Amino acid sequence: MKQIFLLLLLGNAAFAGAQQCSGILTGHVHHSASHENLAGASVYVAELNQTRVTNDKGDFKFDSLCAGHYTLHISHISFDTVIRYVGLQGASHLDVDMPLNKTTLEGVTVAANRQPSTGIRKELAGAALEEARGRSFSEALARINGVTLLQTGSTIAKPVIHGLHGNRILTINNGVRQEGQQWGNEHAPEVDPFIAGRLSVISGVDQLRYGSDAIGGVILVSPRALRQQPGHQAEVNTVYATNNGQALVSGVWEQASKKWEGFAYRLQGTLKQGGNVTTPDYRLNNTSNREGNFSVTAGYRRHHLSTELFYSYFNTKLGVFSGAHIGNLTDLQKAMEATRPDPAFTGNKGYEMIRPYQAVVHQLLKSQTTVDIGGHKLGLLLSGQLNDREEYDVVRNAANRRPQLNLNIGTLQQELSWESPRKGNWQHSGGVVSMQQNNSYSGRYFIPAYRAFNFGGYYLLKWNREAWDLHGGLRYDHRAIHSNRLRAGGAEFANYDFNFSTMGASLQAGFRATEHWKWTAGATLSSRAPHVNELLSNGIHHGTATYEVGDISLKPEQSLYLHVGQNFSNKSGTLSGELTVYHNRINRFIYQQPVPGEPVLTISGAFPKLVYSQTDASLQGVDASLSWELLPRLEWTNRYAMLRARNLVADDWLIRMPADRFTTGFKYALKDGARRSNTYLQVEGMQVWRQTRVPDESAGKQDYQAPPPAYFLVHTDAATTVRLGQVPVTFGLSVRNALNRSYRDYLNNLRFFTDEMGRNIQLRLKVPLGKS
C-alpha cells in the first residue's frame, strides 16, 4: 500500500512538473532611438544555458519552460548588453530596447547607426548570414538586393553595387579602409567572412566618413562586439561542399576577464580547401583553392576610456583555369567559339594546383582608442596593412619556381575623430585622416612601383525631430602619386607625378509618415581619382587572362547620386516591403573597352586586349523587395533589381553592366520542439535575364562575344538547432543550382571559355563548445 501511495505521489509530482514546463517566453528587440527591428541579436537565458537569435523582425521565442525566474542577457554588435529578469507563469512577452554603446565608438557600424538612417542601408545578419557561411565574402554580400558579382571563374568573385565595383566601392574591415590590389577584376576582397557578425552596404552621408571616392557605396564588415560579462564562450563552424569537395572549419574563442575588469579578447581562425570545380557537363582543371586565416582582438573598456587592438592574417591560393591561358591567336579564337573547353583542360578530380595560380597574403593591424570627455567622444585610429600578391604563369622551364609577377603594397592610416554629445535635435561629428602607401613589384611589368600620399577631412551634421531626420556632410581629400616606369625599349625611366583633389558632399532626408511607413531621399556628390592601373598599366592581367593598357590622360570621375526610397509594413508585421529608385550621373566615367580586332600575342600566349577609356555615363535603376507572411509560419519573399547604364557621349549602352534579375522564395518555419528550435525549410528561384542593352556593333565589334542567354536557378536551404545535452548544435543543408543548370553569366571574366559551377550541396554544422 505504501508503495502504491508513493508511486501515485511521484506520478502527481511528475504531472504537475510537466504542466509547469509548458511555459512560453516571446520577445521583441529593437533600437531604442529609432525603434527599428534588430535582427541578429543574441538572447541568452543563463538558467537554461540556451541562446536564441532574433529573426529579421527582431523576434525571439523560448518554449517548454518551467515556471520560475529567468535571467536574460540580450546582446548585439555596437549596442550595450541588456540584462532582464523575468518571472514566468504560463506565457509571457518581453519588449527590449537596445541602447547604442555609450562608451565606445565601435568603428563603422556605430557611426552609421547612431541616428536613424536617411541614406541607403542594407544589411546581412542573423539567420541570413548563417545561411551564407561557407561561401566567399562576396558571395555572402550578393544576398543583399542590388549587389551582384563580378567573377573570374567559379572561385574568384568581388561585389558589384548598382553596376559599380573595384575602387569605386570601399570595404571597411573592422573600422579600417581595406587597401590591397583591389583594382583588379579578379582580386577578390581579402576578408574572412567568419570575422563578421554583420555585413552592411551603405551610401549617403555616412559614406563620407570613409572617403570622397565611394561612388558605388561602402561595405562595412562589423565583427561582434567583445564579450562584456565575465566568462568565456567558444564556437566551431564546419562546412562541406560536394561540388568540389571543399571542406572548411572555423573556430572562435572569446573571454571577458573576471580578474581584470573591463578586459576581453577573442581568437578566431579559418581553414579551407577545395578541389577542382565541376560544371553540369565537365570538371575544370586547376580550379582548386586553399585558404588559412586567423585574427586576434583584445579590448579594454573602463568608465570613459575604451581601447582595442586587432590583428588579422589572410592567406589564400587560387588556381586559374588552364583553358583561359592560350598559346596562340588561332587557339584563342577557337577556344572562344567552342561550346565547351578542350578536353585537355577538363576532367581532373582532386586538389592538385599547378600553374597558372595566384597566392595572396594580407595582414592588418589596428589600434583604436576612444575617450569620452563630458559627452564629447575623441577617437584615435591607427592601422597598418601589408598585401603581397604573387601570380604564377605557365613557364617552359619546370625548374623556374618564381612568380611571374609579385606585387607588394604597404599602407599606413591615421584618423583622429570627434563626435559631440547630442544637444537638442543636433549632433556633430568630424575627423581628419591621412594615408601613406608604397607599392613595389618584381617580375614582368603590369603596373609600376609607386608611392602615394593621402590626406583629408570630413564633417557630418545630423538633425532629428519627431518624424523628420536631416543629415548632411562634407569631405575633402588630396592624393599625390609618384611613379616611374621604363620607356619602350627599356633604355630609360619615365617619371610620373599625379596630384588629384576630390570633394564629397551629401544631403539626406527621412520622414516617418506613420509608425510603419518611412520615406527617404538624398543627393550625394562623390569624386574618385584614377588609380595607377587605370593610368599606367601595360601588360598581362594574369587572373582575367587579358592584356590591359592604361591612359595617363585620365581625369577624376565626378558622380552625382540621387535616390528616393520608402519602406513599409502593416501593423501586424506580416507584410513589409522596400523600394529604392536611384540615378547616378558620372562625368568622366572610367571603363575597360575591349578591342576585339587587336588581340595581343606575347611570350606567355595570346590574350584579349582591353583599353582604359573615359566617357560620361548615366546609371539608373530600381531595387525592390516584398515579404509577405502568407500563413503563420509560411513567408513569401521577392527581390527585384534593375539597372540601365548609358554611355552619354556615344549615346549608347555601357558595356559589362549587370542584367535585370528577380528572386522569389518561400520559407516555412516549423514549431519548436522540446529539444529542437529555429527549424526552417526554404526554396528560392532566381531569374537572370539576358543582357540585351550592350553597345551597338553596327560600326564594329565592341566585345569578344555576345552576352550569354538568360538563366533560371533554384536554390534550397534548411537548418535546425538541436539540443544535445546542454549544447545547442545547429545543422544546415543548402543546395545551390539544385536543378544542375548549365549557364554562363555576363559578368564572369571567363564566360568566353567555360560554364558556371553546377549543383553544389553544402552541409553546415555549428557547435558552441562552452559558455560561462
Sign of the C-alpha dihedral, residues 715, 721, 722, 727? positive
Per DSSP, 329 falls in state: H
**What cell numbers appear for 457 in the block?**
577631412
Give the CA count within 13 Å in the CB-facing half-sphere of 760. Answer: 25
pLDDT > 70: percent of the chain: 92
Report pLDDT for 501: 97
pTM strictly above 0.75:
yes
Q: Domain 107-771 is classified in which CATH homologous superfamily? A: TonB-dependent receptor, beta-barrel domain (2.40.170.20)
Confidence at 492, pLDDT banded by 50, 70, 90: low
Question: Residue 307 above 70 pLDDT?
Answer: yes
Report pLDDT for 104: 29
**If you average pLDDT over residues 508-514, what whole number do you get?**
92
Which range is least confidently modeled, 123-132, 653-662, 726-735? 123-132
> Which has more pLDDT, 602 or 651?
651
**If you average pLDDT over residues 487-503, what whole number do you get?**
78
Pairing of strands 760-771, 231-241: antiparallel
Q: Give 105: exposed, middle or buried? Use CB within 10 Å, 0-12, 13-18, 19+.
A: buried
Report pLDDT for 342: 94
Report pLDDT for 108: 26
Domain ranges of the chain: 2-98, 107-771
Report pLDDT for 78: 60
Residue-wise pLDDT tens digits, 687-696:
999 999 999 9
Pairing of strands 493-514, 676-688: unpaired
Asked if residues 200 and 227 have their Cβ atoms less than 8 Å apart, the reply is no
**Percent helix, percent strand, percent coil in the chain, to nearest 5:** 10, 55, 35
DSSP string across 331-378: HHHHHHHSSS--GGGB---SS---SSEEEEEEEEEEEEEEEEETTEEE
> Which has more pLDDT, 369 or 120?
369
CA-CA distance, 467 to 409, in Å (whole number)? 47
Question: Residue 102 above 70 pLDDT?
Answer: no
Q: Which of 110, 139, 346 is nearest to 248 (CA)?
A: 139
Report pLDDT for 253: 96
Which range is least confidently modeled, 207-221, 222-236, 455-469, 702-716? 222-236
Report pLDDT for 105: 28
Q: Which of 599, 601, 627, 626 is nearest to 701 (CA)?
A: 599
Which range is least confidently modeled, 90-94, 98-102, 150-154? 98-102
3-class DSSP assignment, residue 138: helix
User: Cell 562575344 appears where?
Assistant: 705
**What cell numbers appear for 600 in the block?**
595581343
Which range is least confidently modeled, 95-109, 165-179, 550-564? 95-109
Backbone angles phi, psi at 747, to 5 degrees: -95, 15
Question: Residue 101 above 70 pLDDT?
Answer: no
Report the mean per-residue pLDDT for the chain.
88
CATH code for the structural domain at 2-98: 2.60.40.10
CA-CA distance, 629 to 647, in Å (whole number)? 42
Asked if residues 527 and 557 have their Cβ atoms less than 8 Å apart, the reply is yes
CA-CA distance, 565 to 521, in Å (whole number)? 6
Residue-wise pLDDT tens digits, 402-438:
999 999 999 999 999 999 988 888 999 999 999 999 9
Which helix (DSSP H) or strand (DSSP E) does residue 13 occupy?
Answer: helix 2-20
Per DSSP, 382 falls in state: E
Report pLDDT for 461: 96
CA-CA distance, 145 to 641, in Å (whole number)? 7
Report pLDDT for 357: 93
**What cell numbers appear for 260 in the block?**
581584470
User: Cell 507563469 appears where?
Assistant: 89
Question: Residue 80 above 50 pLDDT?
Answer: yes
Q: Give 169: exposed, middle or buried? Use CB within 10 Å, 0-12, 13-18, 19+.
A: buried
Report pLDDT for 114: 33
Report pLDDT for 733: 97
Confidence at 263, pLDDT banded by 50, 70, 90: very high
Residue-wise pLDDT tens digits, 365-383:
999 999 999 889 999 999 9
User: Cell 539567420 appears where?
Assistant: 127
Q: Give 536: exposed, middle or buried? Use CB within 10 Å, 0-12, 13-18, 19+.
A: buried
Report pLDDT for 487: 54
Which helix (DSSP H) or strand (DSSP E) does residue 766 occupy?
Answer: strand 760-771
**What cell numbers appear for 240 in the block?**
562541406
What is the per-residue burial (b if ≥16 Cβ within 10 Å, else e) of 368-384? bbbebeeeebebebebb
Which range is least confidently modeled, 46-60, 182-196, 255-269, 394-408? 46-60
Report pLDDT for 33: 56
> Which has more pLDDT, 546 or 762?
762
CA-CA distance, 395 to 542, in Å (whole number)? 13
Report pLDDT for 13: 36
**If you average pLDDT over residues 464-477, what whole number do you get?**
93
Asked if residues 563 and 120 have their Cβ atoms less than 8 Å apart, the reply is yes
pLDDT > 90: percent of the chain: 62
Confidence at 540, pLDDT banded by 50, 70, 90: confident
Report pLDDT for 490: 54
Largest CA distance in the chain: 111
Report pLDDT for 10: 34
> Which has more pLDDT, 499 or 228?
499
